[in-house]
Homo-oligomer: A and B are copies of this chain.
Amino acid sequence: MNEVKTEGMRERTRRIVRTELTQVAQDLFVKNGYEATTVDQIAAAAGLSRRTFFRYFASKEDLLIGKYDLLEERMVESLKARPLDEPLWDSLRRIFDIGVNYFSNTERAEAIENTVRSSPALYARYLERFSRLQASLAETVCQRSNYAPDSPEPRAIVGAAFACLTAAQEAWYKSNKTKDLATLLDEAMASLRIQSG
């Protein structure tokens, strides 16, 4: 009991500081831009030293990109929960509902997505994060089905699905969110016909 409480204490304060830090940082990013905001400014605004900032986040980029760790967990879990006889393309469409909800519900998520797209260097890390996410999902696909472990197909199909998600998201932004993201995604994913289950 004691152990749980003290462990929880440490963990909790750490989580609180982390969210406070992202909060403060995101405000600065929106006000002054991502590149123009220094880690010193973020640390000062949150009332701690720069060195301590780097004990909470490995890098300035990690402040925002780290958010997608949760998305990966949830998507992988969601994929594992899909019935094995469901066509893979349909399974992927279903687990993208997580992303669709994340993007279209939260107004905070939109601010982050805007910030990420405002800096090529940050966007690059974003793409790398999603590349790893795709690798995770492809790996899960391999474990669940009987693809050869060295077959390019799982990676290709998962990557193609993400291309649809990205394309739909971009079209959604371009329409100033007048269109429905889920519909755009359906449209994009329907334009590719998957052969294998």
Contacts and interface: CB of A to CB of B under 8 A. Distances in A.
Per assembly, the copies of the chain total 2
Size bracket of the A interface: 35 or more
Q: Looking at A121, A188, A190, A192, which has the most chain B CB atoms within 10 Å of its CB?
A: A192
25 contacts: A120-B128, A123-B131, A127-B128, A150-B174, A152-B171, A152-B184, A152-B187, A153-B167, A153-B188, A153-B191, A156-B164, A157-B192, A159-B163, A159-B167, A160-B163, A160-B164, A160-B192, A162-B163, A163-B163, A191-B194, A191-B195, A192-B193, A192-B195, A193-B193, A193-B194
A81 to B, nearest CB: 24
A49 interface: no
Contacts of A156: 163-164, 167-168, 188-189, 191-192
A164 B125 CA distance: 21
A196 interface: yes
A136 to B, nearest CB: 14
A170 interface: yes
A93 interface: no
A38 to B, nearest CB: 19
A84 interface: no
Contacts of A152: 164, 167-168, 170-171, 184, 187-188
A33 to B, nearest CB: 18
A19 interface: no
Interface in A139-189: 150-160, 162-164, 166-168, 170-171, 174-175, 184, 187-189
